[in-house]
Amino acid sequence: MIIVNLDVVLARRKMRLGELAEAVGISMQNLSVLKTGKAKAIRFTTLNAICRVLECQPADILVFEPDPSDLEPVSETD
C-alpha cells in the first residue's frame, strides 16, 4: 500500500494546501484527493512540481508499506 504524507510535508513547510495548489497549478480538489490518499495515480509532472515547490524528494511524500496481499509472489505472464 502506498501512504501519502503530503500533509506532513506541508506542515513542516508551514504551507497550506491552497498555496501549494496555486504554486503547482492544479486544482485544490485534485490536490486534496492526493493528500487524503484517495488518488489512483499521479503524473510525474505533477509530482515533479510538488517536489520542486516543497523542496523535497518523492520519498518524502510517498511511502510504501506492505500489507499481507503485497507479500504474495508476483506471477509472471508469458
pTM for this model (two decimals): 0.82
- pLDDT score of 45: 96
- pLDDT score of 52: 97
| Helix (H), strand (E), coil (C) string for 18-60 | HHHHHHHCCCHHHHHHHHCCCCCCCCHHHHHHHHHHHCCCHHH
pLDDT tens for the 78 residues of the chain, in order: 899 999 999 999 999 999 999 999 999 999 999 999 999 999 999 999 999 999 999 999 999 998 877 667 766 765
- CATH class given for the domain over 2-65: mainly alpha
- pLDDT score of 68: 77
- pLDDT score of 77: 66
- State how far the Cα of 27 lies from the Cα of 1, in Å rounded to an integer: 25
Domain boundaries, the chain: 2-65
